[in-house]
Amino acid sequence: MLRKRIIFTLIYENGFFNQSRNFRLQKVGNLRWLEKNYKFQDIAFSLDELIVLNASKNDKNIADFARILNKLVDDVFIPIAAGGGIRSLGDAKMLFDNGADKIVLNTILHTNKNLVQQLVSKYGSQSIVASIDYKANDDNISIYIKNGTEELDIGLEQYIKDIEDLKVGEVYLNSIDKDGTGFGYEFGAINKISKSINVPLIIAGGAGNEQHLITGLEDTNISAVATANLFNFIGDGLPNARKKILEKNINVASWN
C-alpha cells in the first residue's frame, strides 16, 4: 500500500536556519547548530522526505544555498526537495547537482510559466513540487507569491487547475496564517481542494505536535504532512512523534 509521508521543511536565509512564524523569520542557528541539535543523519530515519527552502529575500544567492544543501544532505538517504528563488534553468540545475531530488517552485508558477514547462520537460513532472502560500479569511482564500508579499487575484481552485496544466508533480499547500504557530493545520483551504486535486497533496503550516500530523495523515485525500517547526520537534521530537504515529497503525513506512 502506498504510504503517507511525514516531511520536515527547513527554512534557510543567508547562512542560517530559521523558525518562521506567519512568514516572519527568526534565526535559530547555522548548519553547525542544526547538525548538533538535529543530527540530521539520525533524524532522517524518522522522516520520509526533507524539504529545504531558501527564503533569503534581497539577494537570493543560490550558489551559497546550494553549498549548504550539499553539506546538509550527505549521508541522508531520503528524498530531498529544494527551492526558493529559482528563476532560471541554471538555478534549478545547481540545486539538482548539489543533492536535490526535486525542486520546489512558487513565484514562477505565476510569473514564468514557460520556465516551469521547460523544467517539467527537462526533469519530469515527478521532480517538480508546486508550492502555494495562502491566507484564509472565512471562506475567502488569497494566494500569495514572492515570500508571501504579493497577493494574486485568482481563486485557489483555478490556480490549482492552472498549475496542474503545467504538469507539476505535487502540490505543497502552506497556510501563512498558521505558519509556525503550532496551532494545527488550516483545513478550510485543504478541504476545498483535496478531493478534486489530481496530484499528490502535501499540507504545511501549523503542525505543532504529533496529533496535528496524525489528523493530516488520517485524511484519505492528503498524501503527506509537513512541519517546519524547529522548536517543537527539536532533539528526539521527530523520532518520538514517528514512534507514536506507528504505534497508532497509521499508514507510514517502516524500515528494517
Q: Segment near other proteins (CB under 8 A), from 11-19, 59-67, 93-101, 207-215?
A: 93-101
What does the alpha-carbon distance between residue 16 and residue 13 come to, in Å, rounded to a whole number?
A: 5
**Is 96 one of the binding residues for other proteins (CB under 8 A)?**
yes
Site map 100..129 versus other proteins, x via CB under 8 A: xxx------------------xxxxxxx--
For other proteins, the binding residue among 223, 227, 229, 232 (CB under 8 A) is 223
Residue 139 buriedness (CB in 10 A; 0-12 / 13-18 / 19+): exposed
Q: Which is nearer to other proteins, 4 or 178 (CB)?
A: 4
Q: Can you give the three-state secondary structure of 8-45, one letter per residue?
A: EEEEEECCEEEEEECCEEEEEECHHHHHHHHCHHHHHH
Find out whether 7 and 202 touch, Cβ atoms under 8 Å: yes
For other proteins, the binding residue among 19, 37, 70, 181 (CB under 8 A) is 70
**Is 38 one of the binding residues for other proteins (CB under 8 A)?**
no
C-alpha cell at 68: 549548504
Closest listed residue to residue 188, CA positions, set 170, 171, 206? 206
Any catalytic annotation for residue 133? yes
Q: How far is the CB of 121 from other proteins (least distance, A)?
A: 7
**Is 66 one of the binding residues for other proteins (CB under 8 A)?**
no
Q: Segment near other proteins (CB under 8 A), from 154-162, 175-183, 194-202, 231-239?
A: 194-202
Positions in the binding site for other proteins (CB under 8 A) = 1-5, 44-45, 48, 70, 73-75, 77-80, 96-102, 121-127, 169-170, 197-200, 223-224, 252-256
Active-site positions? 133
